[in-house]
Amino acid sequence: MSKKIDQSWLNESATFTRPVIREIQRAASEGIYDIRGFGAKRSIPTFDDLLFLGASVSRYPLEGYREKCDTRVTLGTRFAKKPIEISTPITIAGMSFGALSAQAKEALGRGATEVGTSTTTGDGGMTPEERQHSKILVYQYLPSRYGMNPDDLRKADAIEVVVGQGAKPGGGGMLLGQKISERVAQMRDLPQGIDQRSACRHPDWTGPDDLEIKIQELREITDWQVPIYVKVGATRTFFDVQLAVKAGADVVVVDGMQGGTAATQEVFIEHVGIPTLPATRLAVEALKGIDMHRKVQLIVSGGIRTGADVAKALAMGADAVSIGTAALIAMGDNSPEFENEYNELGTSAGYYDDYQDGKDPSGISTQDPELGRRLDPELAGRRVANYLRCLTLETQTLARAAGKTDVHNLEPEDMVALTIEASAMAKVPLAGTDWIPGVTHKF
Amino acid sequence: MNTFDLANESVRQLNQTLHSNQCKDAEIAVINPGGKHSIAVGAMVNCQVNIDGHVGYYCAGMNQQADIVINGNAGPGLAENMMSGTVRVKGNASQYCAATAHGGLLVVEGDAAARCGISMKGIDIVVQGSIGHMSAFMAQTGRLVVFGDAGDALGDSIYEARIYLQGQPKSLGSDCIEKPMNDEHKQELGELLARANSTGVDISNFRRYGSARELYNFKVDNLSAY
Ligand SMILES: Cc1cc2nc3c(=O)[nH]c(=O)nc-3n(C[C@H](O)[C@H](O)[C@H](O)COP(=O)(O)O)c2cc1C
């Protein structure tokens, strides 16, 4: 029998919090870093730290349901003969078959197609299911080149050269052996059941001058038909964006440090890169600096959850956003309906992040055929579509309130910052002041 | 025979032709390549392409079915991600030739620089000279035959690809070991040499290298090898 203790004596350290203590104990017992999925969990400045001003005497709003507020966007207008037209500025980010089940990939394709937007392959190649169910499919060109082949390249509606990812700029991928089913192994030309390391840099080019030649090769192979995106993790964003444009990108994708992943070292997820908020501003400044804003389109991602996030990203100058984690949640990831099974795995709905493990009870981040069958691609696709519609409506609501007939007419002047940090990062004034740290000085 | 003079015609025109059925079974001559990049990339049908001179980056990239001969030297990324067909370079090849290539045959009559066959996924490569460092890095499947020597860290983190080397490796990479040459391997090597039209070498001089398969699943005790 343990003695009853007086709770008021328990004073938790702000340095050695309970999760920190738990992690030291885990490291001491296992001797290896923690690998997990999901994105950064620490608190960072986000779009939540910005507010819209809405209408006022000098700015009149549009009628909520009556007056038109356009959401369409065309991606890849610079060089491609066939740019991509999407009806909502929210796309589905690249998530690999391997990390996700075939059912989940199909569902993402169905959902995106239903609302007229694009979805993206991932590390591991293109599956026939996702091609079939995705009207607009972006094909990722990754360092591992797993499953890369010219036939699929020509089937793609756009090509995304992945230089990095927000969760791990400078890190390669890892698909642990337990997720390497026969089909995944075959697509990647590797034996079943072994850990698959994805390289952290491309095998046949290094640096911006090579990238330019590589992009030219991809265009030659695809006869200059489809747009070529370059995706970077948010780090030295200003320079990366300008270099990607110089290398010939039609579209630049910037993924903030809080962006999701299927399997990355915790230390990487939490400690490398810059948040989506400052990255968005830097990317727009970079494009404007070379007169390429709106000529090369900008997609930002990393922690996009609501229409408010979408509207704020657009107001800062992005052309579109991309979502990963939120789309998984929309399909059923972390749903309370699996609470008992989450408990079996030592976790709880709302906390599950072991996408690397392959035991996902929702059937999303798994290659176990039994678990995969639990996800009905039609139903999950419907949920993705509903969620995307909801985000679009929310974005329009905010844009109409600011009097915009197109969501892309939102601008930084429509916003203020709640914190000094966000004000400095987004370069919009602190609410109630005309002060932007580092830009204007009032004494 | 179709001739493309790249001093006057563009690489675009050449590649567009290679992507159409009109060049099926045709013979295409390319002259004055002038070290240009992306020459004869994404070829899709059975045809013979003879390039007279030196080529830049990514020549014959993602080749399918075509037989491409380069009468000169090749820049970086020759035959990258090739799927099928053959590519033969009479001179030397620069870095990462046959990177991630899935199939077909690449013959380098001279030397190949660093990272030859990096991440190869099924292609067969025959280098009649020597190869540079980090060759066959993370090589997944396929065969790499080398008449000369190999630079540092040959076959680092190799998976199921097989390396046949006549000369000496400067060093072997992590998890790459020498393996016995059984009859099966001698026969395989003989077939590869025949396919490459390589004569004048004695199969019994070759040694085989491949994966020790110790790093296939992460074990903390192997930490120093990662
Ligand atoms: C399960 C999962 C798998 C992913 N796989 C890839 C991938 O194969 N290639 C890639 O570039 N990014 C990959 N990502 C990152 C996403 O493309 C995207 O950058 C990120 O999810 C955006 O952040 P968000 O999750 O907060 O929306 C993956 C993300 C998740 C959650």
Q: What ipTM goes with this model?
A: 0.96
pLDDT in tens, A55-108: 989 888 998 778 999 999 999 999 999 999 999 999 999 999 999 999 999 999
Any B CB within 8 A of A27 CB: no
Handedness of CA A404, A410, A413, A416 (dihedral sign): positive
| Residue B199: per-residue pLDDT | 87
Beta carbon pairs, A and B, within 8 Å: 104
Residues A296, A342 within the same domain: yes
Q: Which amino acid is at A76?
A: G
Specify whether A371 is located in the same domain as A222: yes
From chain B residues 34-73, the ones with a CB under 8 A of any chain A CB are 37-38, 41-42, 44, 56-58, 61-62, 64
In a domain, A79, yes or no: yes
Q: Which residue of B has its CA nearest to A196?
A: B216
When pLDDT is averaged across residues A139-145 and rounded to a whole number, the result is: 96
Q: Shortest Cα distance from A397 to chain B (angstroms)? A: 47
Q: pLDDT tier at A441 (50, 70, 90 boundaries)?
A: low
A443 in any annotated domain: no
Q: What is the pLDDT of residues B135-186, one digit of tens each?
A: 999 999 999 999 999 999 999 999 999 999 999 999 999 999 999 999 999 9
Residue A441 lies in a domain: no
Structural domain boundaries, residue A271? 37-426
Residue B209 belongs to what H/E stretch? strand B207-211
Judgement on whether residues A130 and A23 belong to the same structural domain of the protein = no
Q: CB distance B57–A177 less than 8 Å? A: no
Lookup: tokens for B164? 């046949």
Name the residue among B15, B16, B99 with its Cβ closest to that of A204: B99
Whether residue A155 contacts residue A132, with contact meaning beta carbons closer than 8 Å, is answered with no
CB B33 within 8 Å of CB B53: yes
Q: Is A26 on the interface with B (CB under 8 A)?
A: no
Q: Are A27 and A81 contained in the same domain? A: no
Q: Domain holding A149: CATH number? A: 3.20.20.70
Measured CA to CA, the distance from residue A95 to residue A119 in angstroms comes to 9
Are residues A239 and A111 both part of a single domain?
A: yes
Q: What is the pTM of this model?
A: 0.96
Question: Does residue A224 fall inside a structural domain?
Answer: yes
Are residues A12 and A64 part of one domain? no
Q: How far is the CA of A252 from the centre of ligand 1 (A)?
A: 16
Cα A362 to Cα A366: distance, rounded to the nearest angstrom: 9
Clarify whether residues A24 and A135 are in a common domain: no
In this complex, the residue of A150, A188, A220 whose CB is nearest that of residue B12 is A220
Establish if A120 belongs to a structural domain.
yes
Minimum CA–CA partner of B226 in chain A: A197
State whether the beta carbon of A93 lies less than 6 angstroms from ligand 1: yes
Distance of residue B100 Cα from the nearest chain A Cα, in angstroms = 7
Task: Tell me, yes or no, whether A176 and A298 share the same domain.
Answer: yes
**What pLDDT, on the 0 to 100 scale, is given for residue A33?**
87
Q: Does residue A27 share a domain with residue A135?
A: no
In a domain? residue A184: yes
Amino acid letter, residue A108: L
A25, A149: one domain: no
- Domains of chain A: total: 2
- Tell me: do A12 and A160 sit in the same domain: no
In a domain, A233, yes or no: yes
Average pLDDT, chain B: 96
Same domain (yes/no): A16, A84:
no
| Structural domain includes residue A351 | yes
pLDDT tens across A298-308, in order?
A: 999 999 999 99
